[in-house]
Chains A and B, each alone.
Chain A
Amino acid sequence: MNAPTATEHSRRFARQLAADSGLPFVTIDPAGADPDDYLAVNPLAARLLSEQVCRHFTMLPVSYADGVVTIVCAHVPDAVAQDIAASLTGRRVEFAIAPEPEVQWAIEDTFAAWPSSDPADPADATFTGPAPVTHPGYPTRVGDLLVARGYATDEDVAYGLAEQERTGSRLGDILVSHGVISEADLVAVLAEQFQLPVVDLTDYEPDPAALDLLPEPLTRHLRVVPLAVDQTTLYVAMADVLDDETVASLREHTNLELRGFLASRNAIDLLLQRVHGGEYVAVAKSELLSRFPDESANRVITGAQKAFFIIVLLVLIVCLILWLKTTAIVVMAICSLFYLTTSFYKFWLTYDALGHTYEIDVTPEELDAIDERDLPMYTILVPLYREAAVIPRLVGGIGGLDYPKTKLDVRLLCEEDDDETVPAILAMNLPPHFKLVVVPDAQPKTKPKACNYGLLQADGEYVVIYDAEDRPDPDQLKKVVAAFRKSDSAITCIQAKLNYFNADQNLLTRWFTTEYSMWFDLMLPGLDAQGVPIPLGGTSNHFITDRLIDLAAWDPFNVTEDADLGIRLHKAGYKTAMIDSTTYEEANSDLQNWINQRSRWIKGYIQTWLVHMRNPAKLAGQVGPKSWFSFQMMVGGTFIFLLNPIFWGLTTLFLITQAGWIEELFPPLVFYLAAFQLFIGNFIFMYLNVAGCVQRGYFELAKWALLSPLYWGLMSLAAWKGFIQLFTNPFYWEKTVHGLDSGDHPPAAAPPARPAPASVTAREAA
């Protein structure tokens, strides 16, 4: 229907009315309008009020931008009209005066017939029409509707409104996140409120022609899925009424009118995954390779590196043949010097950290001052593989986070062939902030690839990785947000500390805990203080999402993608900082499992070293000599685990046999270096493990730390396993089995609980 052009008289009248009442004048008829007065009608915003209300008050919502609904009226709205408009839309409203013919026309046009909802038509079987709204004149806000339909009680809504006041989230989302109502319930209520149809996307196959109209990044960004298209109209599934900007974007891309259908966010996510999964996985595994090929570990060593190592090996062999003793002495001397230098450097870092606090300090006052309404969306990526048993604990751990659930975007990343975890998650009927992401089966099947896949769908301004068994400090997310806000803008990653909750399970877990205490409480803060690259920990690294994506996120071919990313961050000019917040993990308590895990770490560190040393001079130019040196000590220092058994073997052999040829390998200066390292260096590191425990308050572990040399023996065993695997199976991911702890872990301090109504707690306990 063509819009009737308002007469000049009516336009003049409306303009005068607007001037007298202090409201703006607009025209919604593009034909006869002054461009300055023209305001286009957003067809989806127009559905924010029911037809009856619109006709009764001769008003129509035409625009929805920045949380404000603009309603055009033919007359100055009285207090009742204003109240009803605000109540029914659930948003801030502003009024404008438009000529009456135009308003009437727009109402007619908006409430013209929608696609058929005839149940007899199988093609339309998935469409459900809106339930009748309440009687006109009664406010029917979301909360009122939920109570009226029996989905929630007044107490529930009051609780939700209180949280809304605190967090700024929407009432429906809050009630869903607390399990008061389901997503389906909310969608039904929103459909009733906005007079929009609902669509079930479970097995829906969108029209490919419709999909082609909108690029995937746009659909992901807007969270809409094109469903069908005809000559004039594009039909889209959406989770909420779209604002003006969104509508404009869609129109610009399609030159079509829009008709929206409500669906839950999760349903839209799953449909997007289903439709674009192949594309996502291609990006996940090849983004870094295509954008930064020199930084990908898809090749263990380059041709140039291969040539270099072969030449070195040949030279060494020739020298050994010609000058056996001298060559051996030189090799011993170089190894001893490297050993000593690494030890000194690490000792200096850790001792310096012992006397200082280098982590970003977020005080309790700063935490209390955080306005939850200003908190951003936070994405939590949790890669899983055959870990159904730990899902409940995982959910509990994330549930304990002191962060508005409506602002969490928890993505459980499962592999397609994981027929254990996926069904378990589906059966748990988790709240909507938990989203199942099924990663299509593709090589390399690694954790970083899964994380990349999940990152593509991340909603959060920040993103963090947690492992399945992780238990972060409840206030960790808020601390990180505060830390990012008060820190240098170059800080792109904040690493929390890791430690173990099952330290006293057995000797292995005690050793592991002493090692981690030293590493995260002393070594990494020491590196942070020096402004050199920090090899990140496996979890609890918090990123600014956009920058992570710019860097092409994690290398799917690197089995210690975290350490590698820490180096790449530094190379890109970004910084990493530490924060004094701990995530507790499960320490490996089984020896074989531990060796597998440690071998992967060492393999990954060697991979990382090889990747970034493809062009040593270029690396030095990128990071500077200090960072270059630190990289050699921290990442290149991994080779020490390979050297250890050789040196210990020689020492033991000499003590037993007093063989002269061993003595000859160590002329005085070399001997002094090696002896110093053996007796002093080793002790210093053992003692620093003690220091790490005491620094952290783990006094009971101090005595076990004294047995560290035995632990180092195990590390060397794992190191050789990893080193060999680097050549035989470089991308193989040694999966760490979780859930081996004793399971008896009493509660620890949780954030102060806000009183919840009985019904909420009852539902959450159900």
Chain B
Amino acid sequence: MAISVEQPRRYRPPHSAGTSLDTEEHGPGVAAPRALYTVLIVLVLWILYSLLGYQTTVNAHVVVFDALDRLSRAFLVWHNDPQKLAAVGFSYPPLTTMVLLPSAIVKPIATGLIALPVTSAFFAALTVGMLDRIMARCDMPLMLRAPLVLAFAVNPMWLFYSGNGMSEAVYSAFLAIALYFFISWYVTSEPRFLIGSGLTLAVLVLTRYGFIVWAFLLCILIGVALARRQARKIEIEGSVIAFAAPVIYVLAIWILFNALIVGDPFGWVNGATSTQAVNSAGVNELSQLDFNDVAKRLLQLNVAVFPLAFLVVPGLVVAFVTQRNDMALWLSSFIVIGIVIMGADALINDREGLLTLRDSFPMMITAFVGAGWLYRSFVGARLILWIVTLVILVVGCYTAWMGMKDYPFQSLEQAYTRTLFTGKSQEGTSSRGGYTVGIDPESQMAAYVKQNVSGRDAVLTDNAKTFGVILLSGQPPKYFLRVDKGDKKWKEILNDPWGKVPYIMATNSPTSGDLVTQRYPNAVTGGTPGLTPIFATDRYTMLKVAPTAPASGSSTTGGTSRSGTGGGATSSGANAAGVAPRGTTTTRTTTVTTAP
């Protein structure tokens, strides 16, 4: 009988690479640095950045209140009663707070603010380690990439954000990882890198919502690049799905959480985003922005933060045109689109204050990576490109320094330059933007609470504004917070505190967004019956609550003991970093009801 050899339809030799994207010859490749080498870089820089950050943040009190807020939330997760993950809140991209969770477990590390420099130092070091690997992937040998990486690592802007606990180091690290994976995928076409970049993008969008746009663009770019290489339709579809699935998933989960817990699934889009206005009152913003104004500010930012873009963007465009080099187009697009989005955001909202130094970090990272890709793309001009890159990076240190000193829309960069220059504490000094630097008012109030207040839920306060005090006191159970039993219950008590809570703590500034101050605008000056100021610092006032509701019309007077070092624009009173929601004076309620 016939014995025919049938083979299965599904049979296709399994392969671990998709369609190759990089068809250019770039000369001999450089071996990837050993994992141990990268670990060593990260460890060394982590230590160095931590030490520097400790000096500037903990000793010199150059504390950015965004970071303080996040640390306070992380602290509440572990040390509040009841403990709740929901204390992370919904006003910031969640991962920027969650990265502080490990260090916040140990109370002294959190209350001593050591968690801030240690955490951001880790991510800053990781960023530098990944940038080194990216340069190696771009065929740059160790001898050449070491000076570039070093120049980046000692940039004063980078040093500031490596030690202040802000989210810039966090998302920069994930951005560097994502770019490493993406470039590796482009060079090797191994699916594992595509998967890695998808996973990293998913994490990235939870550190800075603006990267959702990046993720969307990358999906398109993956499809286009594969199509241009005549990949099968199914490979394009599968690759895009493999890349986009994690991003879509995390967004879906985040929307779900917001819907379930906050009751507003998309509130996070319009609320506190990563692009914060940092100027509270100290700098005159233009009342009406036009394109030229925005362009001028963007140029200033370009010079100060990412001067490499002047070389990289045109160079990458030339690479794309002459070599059909898709990655060159992508990298240059990211930089340009980043700039465009910043400018558009400011124009749409008519807020010059949105053009901040720190919001330029994605372009800074991408420009550095772009320089590496330029090196890879133009084999014949590598040495020149390298030299020019190095020069720009070195010059960039100077321009960064100058920008930190002078650029109006910033987050205590100026105070940082002073402390670096003088070595002195900046407590009570002012910084560009009209902020009073330091945490003495918080420390003093925290000390008062520790010494004079006892019992659970004794002090009703708006944790969205008095987080500094709560953290530094290290005793969250003493406070009755919005996160404890939810906004609804908290507001009930706020409206009728008599006999329910012994104290109320409020911020002194009527424009700070503090719900307590909004409810009782005259309380801090003693003008609210039943609420007696008993202790005040430059930013906060402790009020004694009467055991029974006062009769209407009576006034109470009471002495206050006030301590404060004075100085600074305390009347503006806002936190020293941009936590005021963009364009609003009322804080979006971050409802943190009991989570399952």
Listed in ascending order, the chain A residues whose CB lies under 8 Å from chain B are: 354-355, 357, 392-393, 395-397, 399-400, 428-429, 471, 497, 499-504, 513, 521, 580, 582, 584, 654-655, 658, 662-663, 666, 668-669, 671-672, 675, 679, 683, 687, 690-691, 693-703, 706, 744-750, 764-766
Subset of 23 A-B contacts with CB under 8 Å? A396-B4, A397-B6, A400-B5, A471-B8, A497-B14, A499-B10, A582-B14, A662-B596, A663-B594, A668-B82, A671-B85, A683-B246, A687-B199, A687-B245, A695-B16, A695-B192, A697-B12, A699-B18, A702-B238, A703-B238, A748-B8, A750-B5, A764-B2
Q: Which residue of B lies closest to A684 (CB)?
A: B199
B415 to chain A, nearest CB (A): 37
Contact B5 A396 (CB under 8 A): yes
Contact B15 A502 (CB under 8 A): no
The count of chain B contact residues (Cβ–Cβ below 8 Å) is 40
Contact A691 B242 (CB under 8 A): yes
Q: Which 8 A-B pairs have the closest CB atoms?
A: A699-B238, A501-B8, A748-B11, A748-B7, A501-B10, A668-B83, A745-B9, A702-B238
Q: Which residue of A lies closest to B78 (CB)?
A: A668
A381 to chain B, nearest CB (A): 20
| Contact of B140 with A by CB under 8 A | no
Tell me what chain A mostly uses at the interface: helix, strand, loop, or mixed. Answer: helix
Return chain A residues, CB-CB under 8 Å to B245: 687, 690, 702, 706
Contact A354 B238 (CB under 8 A): no
Q: Which residue of A lies closest to B13 (CB)?
A: A749
Contact B242 A747 (CB under 8 A): no
Q: Which residue of B lies closest to A651 (CB)?
A: B596
| Contact of B290 with A by CB under 8 A | no
Give Cα A666 to B596, complex, Å: 8
Contact B1 A694 (CB under 8 A): no
Contact B192 A395 (CB under 8 A): no
B388 to chain A, nearest CB (A): 35
Contact B3 A694 (CB under 8 A): no
Chain B residues 1 to 51 lying within 8 A of chain A, measured CB to CB, are 1-16, 18
B262 to chain A, nearest CB (A): 16
Q: Which residue of A lies closest to B9 (CB)?
A: A745
- Tell which of B2, B10, B594 has the most Cβ of chain A within 10 Å: B10
Q: Which residue of B lies closest to A703 (CB)?
A: B241
Q: Which residue of B lies closest to A522 (CB)?
A: B192
| Contact of B195 with A by CB under 8 A | yes
Return chain A residues, CB-CB under 8 Å to B433: none
Give Cα A699 to B194, complex, Å: 13
Return chain B residues, CB-CB under 8 Å to A502: 8-10
Contact A766 B11 (CB under 8 A): no
Given contacts A663-B594, A700-B237, 12 further A-B contacts (CB under 8 A): A396-B3, A396-B4, A396-B6, A668-B83, A687-B199, A690-B195, A697-B14, A702-B237, A745-B10, A746-B9, A747-B6, A748-B7
Checking A429, A672, A694 against B191 with a beta-carbon cut-off of 8 angstroms, the contacting residue is: A694
- Tell which of A497, A580, A668, A766 has the most Cβ of chain B within 10 Å: A668
Known: A675-B85, A694-B242. A703 touches B237 (CB 8 A): yes
- Tell which of B7, B245, B249, B594 has the most Cβ of chain A within 10 Å: B7
| Contact of B91 with A by CB under 8 A | no
Return chain A residues, CB-CB under 8 Å to B143: none
Contact with A along B192-234 (1 / 0, CB 8 A): 1011000100000000000000000000000000000000101
| Contact of B84 with A by CB under 8 A | yes
Contact A695 B191 (CB under 8 A): yes
Checking A399, A497, A584 against B10 with a beta-carbon cut-off of 8 angstroms, the contacting residue is: A584
Contact B191 A691 (CB under 8 A): yes
Contact A766 B1 (CB under 8 A): yes
Give Cα A642 to B191, complex, Å: 33
Contact A500 B15 (CB under 8 A): no
Give Cα A354 to B245, complex, Å: 18
Chain B residues 75 to 99 lying within 8 A of chain A, measured CB to CB, are 82-85
B90 to chain A, nearest CB (A): 16
Contact B6 A521 (CB under 8 A): no
| Contact of B440 with A by CB under 8 A | no
A319 to chain B, nearest CB (A): 25
A705 to chain B, nearest CB (A): 9
| Contact of B348 with A by CB under 8 A | no
